[in-house]
């Protein structure tokens, strides 16, 4: 099944402790599509200016991304300049030049309006709402946002919450939006305003998925080298939505699997600047990394784990703890 993504198609200039990249391909929709295209057909809607190096989007088209909804407008392309210091979870925005984005009104081509999965990537929430007015009965609508919009378009963002099934945002954004420092409280605040699912990303510390009655956590893949965290969140969303669209299964169990695929995609995105690593991805790479994720959290013993503990302690020469210990501790 198809995923429609509407978001920024940017030129990024990024500095990390490991190097810098000037005027490379970036943008929330670009990273999303670069991940999702490995799983399902993608339709992209966005805007670029006259200065955009369109030839650098050709690999996306080669991977089956339909770019017929990408408008070219007179003026300068959206440009984001950011820096990461040693805390790679924290992007510092040095400059946001909206350029053609400031007059952008998304027009969803008729052929895209029936997309069953819709991702409103990080753009002005007013535009995200305009997209929703143009799509016809999608099965799942998800959105993303960032501090820039939480500060400048808070009211619109809260209206948007009432119209989406799922929102992804990072922990800092969740705290800023909800004015709650505890993430469980922040998730509840968001769930009370509409979405059925809230995914709170914590960068190299993994991601939580909250529903009204469950919490799921996936760790981040422990990479030895993280080159450039830009786009990790959008790539996570691309993997997550791409997997749901590919399987067409919206059960809670499948949403949990989708979080793992999203985490795998996020981990690839940060291995190189821009969307380079994502574009070079093979099905084997993806399969191996998803397998590594399963290994990361696999534990033998299941529910019997605790009951085995006294035996293990005895075998190791330690003092066995009584079987009733958990209850005793509770008291
Ligand atoms: P993330 O996945 O959160 O790291 O998103 C990174 C991408 O977001 C970059 O490629 C930027 O071009 C894009 N971006 C930065 N600021 C904005 C903004 N205000 N609106 C839309 N996209 C943005």
Length of the chain: 331
Using the mean position of ligand 1's atoms as its centre, give its distance from the Cα of residue 97 in Å.
12
Rounded CA-CA distance 22/194 in Å is: 39
pLDDT tens-digit readout, 221-240: 999 888 899 999 999 999 99
Indicate the helix (H) or strand (E) that contains 200: strand 197-201
Is the distance from the beta carbon of residue 28 to the nearest atom of ligand 1 less than 6 Å?
yes
Check if the beta carbon of residue 78 is closer than 8 Å to that of residue 98. yes
What's residue 314's pLDDT? 60
What's residue 310's pLDDT? 61
β-pair type (91-97, 79-84): antiparallel
pTM exceeding 0.95:
no
Using the mean position of ligand 1's atoms as its centre, give its distance from the Cα of residue 122 in Å.
7
Is the distance from the beta carbon of residue 46 to the nearest atom of ligand 1 less than 6 Å?
no
**Assigned CATH class of 3-298:** alpha beta
Is the distance from the beta carbon of residue 26 to the nearest atom of ligand 1 less than 6 Å?
yes
What's residue 86's pLDDT? 83
Locate the domains of the chain by residue range.
3-298
What's residue 323's pLDDT? 45
What's residue 331's pLDDT? 35
Tokens of 10: 């940017």
Tell which atom from ligand 1 comes closest to the C-alpha of 269.
2
Write phi, then psi, for 5 (nearest 5 degrees).
-120, 135
Is the distance from the beta carbon of residue 122 to the nearest atom of ligand 1 less than 6 Å?
yes
* Longest CA–CA separation in the chain, Å: 76
In the chain, which residues have pLDDT < 70? 302-303, 305-331
What's residue 88's pLDDT? 83
């Amino acid at each position: 099944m198809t995923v429609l993504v509407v978001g920024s198609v940017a030129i990024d200039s990024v500095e990390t402790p490991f190097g810098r990249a000037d005027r490379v391909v970036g943008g929330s929709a670009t990273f999303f599509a670069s991940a999702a295209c490995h799983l399902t057909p993608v339709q992209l809607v966005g805007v670029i200016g006259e200065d955009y190096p369109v030839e650098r989007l050709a690999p996306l088209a080669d991977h089956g991304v339909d770019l017929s909804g990408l408008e070219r407008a007179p003026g300068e392309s959206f440009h984001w300049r950011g820096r990461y210091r040693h805390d790679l979870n924290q992007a510092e925005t040095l400059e946001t030049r909206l350029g053609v984005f400031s007059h952008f009104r998304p027009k969803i081509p008729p052929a895209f309006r029936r997309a069953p999965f819709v991702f409103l990537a990080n753009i002005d929430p007013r535009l995200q709402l305009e997209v929703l007015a143009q799509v016809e009965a999608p099965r799942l609508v998800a959105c993303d946002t960032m501090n820039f919009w939480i500060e400048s378009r808070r009211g619109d963002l809260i209206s948007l919450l009432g119209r989406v099934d799922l929102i992804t945002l990072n922990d800092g954004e969740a705290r800023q939006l909800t004015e709650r420092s505890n993430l469980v409280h922040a998730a509840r605040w968001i769930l009370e305003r509409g979405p059925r699912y809230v995914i709170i990303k914590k960068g190299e510390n993994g991601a939580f998925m909250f529903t009204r009655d469950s919490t799921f956590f996936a760790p981040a893949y422990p990479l030895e080298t993280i080159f450039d965290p830009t786009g990790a969140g959008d790539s996570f969303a691309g993997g997550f939505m791409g997997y749901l669209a590919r399987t067409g299964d919206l059960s809670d169990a499948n949403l949990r699997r989708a979080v793992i695929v999203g985490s795998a995609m996020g981990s690839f995105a940060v291995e190189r600047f821009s969307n380079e690593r994502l574009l070079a991805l093979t099905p084997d790479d993806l399969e191996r990394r998803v397998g590594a994720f399963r290994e990361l959290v696999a534990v033998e013993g299941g529910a019997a784990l605790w009951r085995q503990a006294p035996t293990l302690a005895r075998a190791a020469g330690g003092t066995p703890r009584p079987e009733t210990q958990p209850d005793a501790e509770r008291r």
